Amino acid sequence: MRAMLFIRCTQRVWDDMLPQRLIAVLLALPLLALISVNISYWKTYCREEKRGEGKQSIAYNKLYLALVAIGYFGIWPLWIGGMVLLFLERYYVALDVLIGAFLMIPLVQIVGLIFFYTGSLFFTWAIGFAGKSLRPSTSGIHTQHRLVQDGPLAIVRHPYYVSYVLILIGLSLVLATLWPLVLALCVIIGMGPTAKAEEAHLTALFGQEYVQYQQKVGRFFPRFFGSRV
């Protein structure tokens, strides 16, 4: 009897949440934009790799880089898997047995969508804007690359890492599960040392130009009053 009462109460909570297919569509829209930008990016990247002139590797700490990678690659099964289950209207049923699930209200889901859209659109903008000057972490840097200082990189020096965290927080709130927060924590732990390794290399490559850029733009947070972040 108690079990039946719990199921009915839980069902009423899920019924009060945003419609599953609506959320699925809202999750799909930025994914389509991101796919479009990535197709163009990887075409450019492959052309640059064939040239392969003057490529320099970055001295990453492998543990911290792995934490960032875990967070990044964990985004996609959560994003796409959640979207598919939502479209099939089976996600809220799965939440009843999912470890790490928590009850939600529509307002929290809306806040999650704000985080998610901010992160995913910022990520898409950064990839499209940086173009061939953006490279996967393990691919090194070509010495002929220019230092991009405008667009999203005029807001923070590492928009990609910031985007990962925002996307994962958003997914956690929208999908009502704690697992994306675990991945976000991995990124947060790993991105500081990883960013410092990249900045040390960029300082050696671009010299005073990069030092001046560091003074103008915050690492992970916008710099409004000239404070170092």
Give the separation between CA 138 and CA 217, rounded to whole angstroms. 24
Question: Which of the two residues, 183 and 106, has the higher pLDDT score?
Answer: 183
Q: Look at residue 91 and tell me whether its pLDDT is greater than 50.
A: yes
Give the separation between CA 19 and CA 86, rounded to whole angstroms. 9
Question: Which of the two residues, 100 and 217, has the higher pLDDT score?
Answer: 217
- Can you give the pTM of this predicted structure? 0.84
Q: Look at residue 85 and tell me whether its pLDDT is greater than 50.
A: yes
Give the separation between CA 185 and CA 7, rounded to whole angstroms. 32
Q: Give the number of other CB atoms < 10 A from CB of residue 191.
A: 23
Cβ proximity of 198 and 139 under 8 Å: no
Q: Residue 51 burial (CB < 10 Å; 0-12/13-18/19+)?
A: exposed
Residues in Cβ contact with 194 at an 8 Å cutoff, skipping those fewer than 6 apart: 60, 61, 64, 65, 68, 137, 161
For domain 16-34+55-216, the CATH class is mainly alpha
Question: Using 50, 70 and 90 to split pLDDT, how confident is the model at 82?
Answer: very high
User: What does the domain layout of the chain look like in residue ranges?
Assistant: 16-34+55-216
Share of the chain above pLDDT 70, in %: 73
